[in-house]
Amino acid sequence: MIKFHNTDNMKFMADVPDKYYDLAIVDPPYGLGMHKAQGTTKAKPKKWCGGEWDNDTPNTEYWNELFRVSKNQIVWGANYFMENLNSGKKWIVWDKMLDQDQSHLELAWTSFVGAERMYRYSRSKLQGFQNPNRFHPTEKPISLYEFLIKEFAKPNDKIIDTHGGSGSIAIAVDKANTLDNTNYSLDIIELDKDYFDASVNRFNKYKSQTTLNLK
pLDDT > 60? residue 86: yes
pLDDT > 70? residue 99: no
Q: Are 150 and 158 in contact (CB under 8 A)?
A: no
pTM as predicted: 0.83
pLDDT > 90? residue 47: no
Separation of alpha carbons 123 and 127, rounded Å = 9
Q: Determine the pLDDT at residue 132.
A: 55
Q: Domain residues for 157?
A: 2-214
Q: Determine the pLDDT at residue 32.
A: 57
pLDDT > 80? residue 196: yes
Average pLDDT over residues 148-153: 95
Number of domains comprising the chain: 1
What is the secondary structure of 2-54 as a DSSP string? EEEE-S-HHHHHHTSPTT-EEEEEE----SS-HHHHS--BTTB-HHHHSTTTT
pLDDT band at 185 (very low <50, low <70, confident <90, very high): very high
Cα-Cα end-to-end distance for the chain: 22
Query: Smallest Cα–Cα separation from 144: which of 120, 127, 128, 167?
Result: 120
pLDDT > 80? residue 36: no
When mean pLDDT is compared across 34-43, 75-84, 125-134, the lowest value belongs to 34-43
Q: What are the DSSP E strand ranges found in 60-154?
A: 70-76, 92-95, 105-110, 117-120
Q: Which domain CATH number covers 86?
A: 3.40.50.150
Q: Determine the pLDDT at residue 114.
A: 84
pLDDT band at 57 (very low <50, low <70, confident <90, very high): confident
Over pLDDT 70: what percentage of the chain?
74
Average pLDDT over residues 35-45: 42
pLDDT > 90? residue 44: no
pLDDT band at 118 (very low <50, low <70, confident <90, very high): confident
